[in-house]
Structure 1
């Protein structure tokens, strides 16, 4: 089962995206709908809300007057916490029931308005954020929900910022234009990424390594690494686990293959093997290969997401391979000359192996430089006092 989180601010039009995904066959779980269901007349949820806020939040028919309740809690932090404490556990229980009932090969889209605000992204294989310009969102809310412009802008201001949403987004859908444009983007996302990701996840398949082509440095690589690291910690049940962004994409400004390398430190290889199932379920199936010239044993996991090539190297914390994987990028980040030298090596090798669809030749020919560079990096560490714990 592929778990996809879907979110977006008020007026962004994420319901349009959710509807299109449902047309393609996604199992859509709508948190807003569940929030209404758990406080319908006769439910324990409504009884608890009435006990907390009084009968004046009911309409003439005895149903919850959502607008009246919203006006009570919107500007009152304690009231909002009380309401959340009542409703969210009920929504969570119902969500778990619906997830459990979904088929094993389902693509489950969980529509969660406050996904970013509540830091729920690590629970999903992918997070989709739907956005539109603020003025467009305000116009939609005024038109569709009957709010005043001032109320609409206040509601938008109270939600997550665009910066926070971009940090959480694996997929960013701009819904500020014609509806056909966003629908076409959803169609492509479904066919090119979601369906393929679900199949890879269910079958335990991973991405191909690909060829040695370099791309310009992407300033979003660190944010992508942080999202993946958070998913890994959540998947293994250890939110304090050390997961580091390593490799060329961890060196700002350095052109590299579009590959995010991560390293998970463990206390033993037995522990690494015990985590293999959880990592595979999180989208990182075990890869049978590896670099036999590593200074110690390790385990390699490769992303199943066709839209993001990523490697997870699982090594024993404190071992020579673990240390070297942290040291070399730190040295390159600090030493302009070394970084320029390494880029020249990468560009030369990428040119010589251009057109190859694997990394065998490129990796083989890069090893001599790395062997010599490792000792230079150690010299740098001694001079500067660098350590992996710094």
Structure 2
């Protein structure tokens, strides 16, 4: 199984990319849909929200009146934390349940609008960012969604910046152009990268070395962050020793920790090549990882 994080600014076309990938066979976990499900009428989530904020957050049909809730929940920090304390565990539990139901060879696509803002990028094998120029996004939001221009620009400004998104992007899809331009790009991503990557992880295969368009330098920080997410408390230090070819050194406190990390590393996209040596299962981004036991 491989987990792919998908995100992008409002109006960039993230849902279109999700549609193309699910048509190819991706297993979609839509965080917005889950967030609505856990507070639907009759759910414990909605009941707890009413207990916390009163019946004024309900619409006439008994469903959640989201604008009314937002006006209360975001009026102060205490209310916001109360709301998050209710919804976040429910969303997390449902997300875990859905991922657990995915097939063993699944390519799980998690559509998360606030992936960048939430610092979630290291938790995924790959992060796909869908991008479009600001003016194109404003045009789509005002023309296709009927949003006022001032509101559209305010929503765009409140989200992560292009620089912040580029910092976490393993795949950058520019969707500024015509809709027909997008499908072949996403299809090639599925065929050439995602399917082989998942197969390599499942079989514990290191991808053959390939020439890359640019050195790993810009990606080194992402690689180290991803390894920290995989290794957690079992690693003492993780450092990039050569950004040019993505060489990373992982130091563990003892041999037992090294043994325990072999399977998590494989599942995280870094199969073992030999004792103390791991590589990347990603066919588009090779990496060489050395694991050492701390002296003494």
SS for the counterpart of 2:233 is coil
1:251-277 deviation per Cα after TM superposition (whole angstroms, max 9, x unaligned): xxxxxxxx3111101123443232111
- 1:169 equivalent to 2:169? Answer yes
Q: Is the 8 A contact 1:30 1:112 kept in 2?
A: yes
Selected match of 1:281 from 267, 270, 277:
267
1:332-375 deviation per Cα after TM superposition (whole angstroms, max 9, x unaligned): xxxxxxxxxxxxxxxxxxxxxxxxxxxxxxxxxxxxxxxxxxxx
SS for the counterpart of 1:145 is coil
> What is the Cα deviation at residue 158 of structure 1?
1.4
1:34-75 deviation per Cα after TM superposition (whole angstroms, max 9, x unaligned): 111111111111112222222222211111122333344456
> What is the Cα deviation at residue 134 of structure 1?
1.2
Q: Is the 8 A contact 1:40 1:63 kept in 2?
A: yes
Taking the aligned partners of 2:52 and 2:152, their CA distance within structure 1 comes to: 27
Q: TM-score, normalised to structure 1's length?
A: 0.71
- For 2:185, the equivalent position in structure 1 comes to 185
Taking the aligned partners of 1:69 and 1:13, their CA distance within structure 2 comes to: 27
> What is the Cα deviation at residue 12 of structure 1?
1.2
Selected match of 1:245 from 222, 233, 240:
240
Between 1:73-82 and 1:54-63, the stretch displaced more is 73-82
- 1:226 equivalent to 2:221? Answer yes
> What is the Cα deviation at residue 208 of structure 1?
2.1
The answer for unaligned runs of 5 or more in structure 1 is 250-258, 289-297, 320-390
Specify which structure has the higher proportion of strand: 2
Q: TM-score, normalised to structure 2's length?
A: 0.93
Aligned residues: 296
The answer for unaligned runs of 5 or more in structure 2 is none
- 1:263 equivalent to 2:249? Answer yes
- What RMSD in Å do the two structures reach over aligned CA positions? 2.1
Larger Rg over CA atoms:
1
1:278-336 deviation per Cα after TM superposition (whole angstroms, max 9, x unaligned): 11111110003xxxxxxxxx6110100011111111113359xxxxxxxxxxxxxxxxx
Selected match of 2:281 from 285, 304, 315:
304
> What is the Cα deviation at residue 130 of structure 1?
0.8
Q: Evaluate the alpha carbon distance shift between residue 187 and residue 177 of structure 1 in structure 2; reply closer, same or farther with a 3 A threshold.
A: same
Q: What are the within-5 Å matches in structure 2 for residues 1-390 of structure 1? A: 1-73=1-73, 76-209=76-209, 218=215, 221-238=216-233, 241-247=236-242, 249=244, 259-288=245-274, 299-317=276-294
> What is the Cα deviation at residue 109 of structure 1?
0.2
> What is the Cα deviation at residue 166 of structure 1?
0.7
SS for the counterpart of 1:243 is strand
Q: Is the 8 A contact 2:131 2:173 kept in 1?
A: yes
